[in-house]
Structure 1
Amino acid sequence: MAEFVTLDLPEGDAARGVAVLRIARPPMNQFNGQLVREVAEAAEAVAEDARVAALVVYGDERVFSAGDDIAELSGLDPDQARAMAADLQAALGCLAKVGQPTVAAISGYCLGGGLELALGADRRIIGDNVKLGLPQIRAGLIPLAGIRRLSLLIGPGAAKDLVYTGRFVKADEALTLGLVDEVVAPDDVYTAALRWAGQFIGGPACALAAAKAVFEAGPHGLDRARTEWAELFTTADREIGTRSYLADGPGSAAFVGR
């Protein structure tokens, strides 16, 4: 059983719905090695669960994550750091490996490893009182998993500014930069994320996973798109979708998720 993460999955063998992954390491949900591993294990469970149409990742009403556990990191020697770097990097990028659409519902602070995790989500919804940042440089470190994804998201110039200075970004600037996708009242963060995720219930799960794989392929996206497109012709959803589209137009298909 996980100590710092809870995962609520849809109930019933046939039901498809929204899963919720909650980060719970009080008081500030700081990311240590155990929390990162537990988040990655939960994300892997979601990816393998056909009942899940979409995933919401949430901390609580006060904070998503106040950043890395610097006390733990300060105790590592160089050999230990080298040994764990690849696993931690992969774990912080775990949301990008989930085939279902994912959304980070962010309250309070979202810093360091917490923001690196959120950067792997398909969408980020924040409260208008949120502060985001990658302050690792102030501890003589760098973000382990977030630099490339941040650069692709907001451009290399803006990404270098945030990484080199370690400064915090408020909600309005985060939206302007493209660091987040939606700003809502603090009390509405979780419900807004559930609303966004809920639109994929009953959706074309195979096509959504294929589209996500193409986005993640980066410079190899054209090659990956050809492969994913052709493979969709082996799915029941493609057959159902094209038949329904021809008969009744778009938006009328009853997809089965396989």
Structure 2
Amino acid sequence: MTFENLLVESNNHIATITVNRPSKLNALNTETIKELHTALKSANNDVEIKVIILTGSGEKAFVAGADISEFSSYSVKEGKKLSSQGHEILFNYLANLSTPVIAAINGFALGGGLELAMSAHFRIASDNAKMGLPEVSLGVIPGYGGTQRLPQLVGKGRAMELILTGGMIDANQALNYGLVNHVTTQEELLPLAQKIAEKILKNSTVAVASAIRAVNANYKDGVNGFAIEIEEFGNSFGTADFKEGTSAFLEKRTAKFPGK
């Protein structure tokens, strides 16, 4: 599959999706959002792919934001549509993907770029990374989940400060806030992402997908996360992966999960 704004490669059950608009610091435009949806859907539907790594091309930016030139003249109606469609086809879609997604933040992750990274299941960053939601400096607010996911990750007070000042934090501060899980050098960023992915590969894909659903349930309005956990836990007992995992443990051997 060929994309205009993405590079996609697969190796050892890991798909790496790279936003590739270096002249625009990998800024998200409508076409890139659509391509990301297609690439993520394809990887999620591929039984050979068990982990997805999401990153940006070059050494300057993961995704430096949304392409402002596309929507600077939008009306209220068009603005609402832009946000709602973005949530549907990319940001919420990514957050609820059954295949785990690691965001490897290799530089600036601002506005829609940080919102994209926050939609991933977790994040790691290079030591030159800078993160922020500067939308208020443009007379608008984060519209792709930033006002919701940032408080969930770093707490209300820190999120309020970042959003209302429109400021940036560096990778170490993001690590201190809990926004990213690890910080490493630019050169070691993708190797670290691959190392973490390889640990995930050893586990049951069915159980991993079930765990994602259970964790996400806690952040959905009107949903009892504990009830979902009970449901998903019980369902695990009916899977071939559970039978293989428990048998392997009792027989003191490495499990070979069938993914069913």
Q: CA RMSD in A?
A: 1.6
Of structures 1 and 2, the one scoring higher in RCO (CA 8 A, sep 6+) is 1
Deviations 1:61-99 (A, max 9, x none): 312111111111202122222233211123123321221
CA distance in 1, matches of 2:109, 2:82: 23
Alignment of 1:237-248 (within 5 A): 237-248=241-252
CA distance in 2, matches of 1:195, 1:60: 20
Cα drift, residue 47 of structure 1 = 1.8
Alignment-mate amino acid for residue 204 of structure 1 = S
The answer on 1:7 being equivalent to 2:8 is yes
Alignment-mate amino acid for residue 159 of structure 1 = A
Match of 1:70 in 2: 68
Match of 1:119 in 2: 118
CA distance in 2, matches of 1:7, 1:222: 37
Whether the 8 Å CA contact 1:135–1:166 is kept in 2: the answer is: yes
TM-score w.r.t. length of structure 2: 0.91
Cα drift, residue 130 of structure 1 = 1.1
Whether the 8 Å CA contact 1:53–1:202 is kept in 2: the answer is: no
Whether the 8 Å CA contact 1:105–1:189 is kept in 2: the answer is: yes
Query: SS where residue 9 of structure 1 aligns?
Result: strand
The answer on 1:48 being equivalent to 2:49 is no
The answer on 1:20 being equivalent to 2:16 is yes
Whether the 8 Å CA contact 2:33–2:86 is kept in 1: the answer is: yes
Match of 1:253 in 2: 255
CA distance in 2, matches of 1:3, 1:94: 21
Whether the 8 Å CA contact 2:21–2:57 is kept in 1: the answer is: no
CA distance in 1, matches of 2:183, 2:37: 26
The answer on 1:85 being equivalent to 2:89 is no
CA distance in 1, matches of 2:10, 2:238: 27
CA distance in 2, matches of 1:243, 1:186: 41
Match of 1:234 in 2: 238
Bigger Cα displacement from structure 2, 62-71 vs 204-213: 62-71
Whether the 8 Å CA contact 2:123–2:182 is kept in 1: the answer is: yes
Match of 1:137 in 2: 136
Cα drift, residue 214 of structure 1 = 0.7
Cα drift, residue 18 of structure 1 = 0.6
Whether the 8 Å CA contact 1:93–1:116 is kept in 2: the answer is: no
Whether the 8 Å CA contact 2:22–2:58 is kept in 1: the answer is: no
Query: SS where residue 55 of structure 1 aligns?
Result: strand
CA distance in 2, matches of 1:49, 1:155: 36
Cα drift, residue 177 of structure 1 = 0.6
Structure 1, gaps ≥5 residues long: 11-15
Cα drift, residue 7 of structure 1 = 2.3
% same residue: 31
TM-score w.r.t. length of structure 1: 0.92
Match of 1:31 in 2: 28
Moved over 3 A (4+): none
Whether the 8 Å CA contact 1:8–1:20 is kept in 2: the answer is: yes
CA distance in 2, matches of 1:88, 1:33: 9
Alignment-mate amino acid for residue 121 of structure 1 = A
Query: SS where residue 201 of structure 2 aligns?
Result: coil
CA distance in 2, matches of 1:157, 1:96: 23
Whether the 8 Å CA contact 1:21–1:55 is kept in 2: the answer is: yes
Cα drift, residue 17 of structure 1 = 0.9
Query: SS where residue 76 of structure 1 aligns?
Result: coil
Deviations 1:131-185 (A, max 9, x none): 1111111111111112211111111111111111110101121111111110101
CA distance in 2, matches of 1:18, 1:26: 23
Query: SS where residue 248 of structure 1 aligns?
Result: coil
CA distance in 1, matches of 2:158, 2:126: 22
